[in-house]
Amino acid sequence: MTPRGAVGLALGIASIVVASCGAALGADWAFEIRAADAPARLAADAVDDGALLNMIARSITDELKLRLPVVVPYAAYGSEQAFVEALIAQGRPAELARQLGRSSLALAVGRTRILARGDLLSSKSLAERAVVYAHELAHVAQGRFGVDEDHAPMWMWEGHSEWVGYRVAGLLGLKSYAEARREIRRSAWVTTQQAPLPPLSLLDTREGWRSARERGTTATAMYGQAFLAIDWLIERYGEDSLRNYLRSYSRSRPLTAADDPVPRNWRMAFPIAYDDFVLEFRRYLSVTP
């Protein structure tokens, strides 16, 4: 599979717009992700990532037991400008869209569709693209939980999606999950030797996440730490506990200004206090891997 073919940026399909993908206007490639259409294996001569996207969706629904819509529209853009314009068309403020355009490979928009930087993804390996796609489809699945991302801890929102990404890459035989975890664990430890990572308690909110980035913490360090925290939680307490926690942020449960949902919901799902977990995880990161 050629890099250009990997994201379907062939001249003959540059103007194709899938009818149901209104957000795909101006895209280099538009596709409808359907788990039901996933092939048994990837073809060596595939000219785009359609089969890969469908296989990822099937792994998420069948193996990880997360729910996705029957169809998830996907659109890949050939430049930062086109990607930013698509985000603005989807209602993102112009300045935020420009920031996302500079820093994102793909985004789940409105919890219903995925927009991607096809030009950047074309240089990534098959395994790397699979992790990105699965991460964004995980955000779509989180929306099916009824999760309110403005209330759920940001590190859990992103860490769970990273966990899904690496699990799916492992399930598809593209990269060992254990190997990916070892690499991320080692990278996190090396980072802590140079400067302390921001504590999970700071990364609860979007503001805290943004503050950490502005103070120089790399995206790799932040997403890696969030992934490791989710991996540790699942290893100790199981996937059901994590899902119950995420469901506790359902939009059907209105929050008052004085309500702090993190410790309240945490107590409902896990046998360890939230602050105790944050401290234990901090110690875990400080141990030489």
- Read off the pLDDT of residues 271-280 as tens digits, 9 standing for 90 and up: 988 888 988 8
CB 156 within 8 A of CB 226: yes
Do the bridges between strand 29-33 and strand 72-77 make them parallel or antiparallel, or are there none, so unpaired?
antiparallel
- Read off the pLDDT of residues 207-221 as tens digits, 9 standing for 90 and up: 888 888 878 788 888
**CA gap 84, 71 in Å, rounded:** 24
Distance of CA 83 to CAs 129, 165, 211, Å? 17, 22, 25
Q: Which amino acid is at 89?
A: A
CB 140 within 8 A of CB 114: yes
Domain ranges across the chain? 1-144, 146-289
- Single out the residue of 150, 219, 143, 158 nearest to residue 187, CA to CA: 219
**pLDDT string in tens for the chain (289-residue length):** 333 344 544 333 333 333 334 446 688 999 999 999 999 999 888 889 999 999 999 999 999 999 999 999 999 999 999 999 999 999 999 999 999 999 899 999 988 899 999 999 999 999 999 999 999 999 999 988 876 666 678 899 999 999 999 999 999 999 999 999 999 999 988 888 887 888 887 888 888 888 888 787 888 888 999 999 999 999 999 999 998 888 877 654 544 444 555 667 788 889 988 888 988 898 888 888 7
CB 137 within 8 A of CB 160: no
**What are the structure tokens assigned to 202, written together?**
């700071």
CB 188 within 8 A of CB 228: yes
CB 165 within 8 A of CB 131: yes
DSSP E strand boundaries for the chain: 29-33, 72-77, 106-109, 113-117
In 3-state terms, what secondary structure has residue 195? coil
Rg over CA atoms, the chain? 19
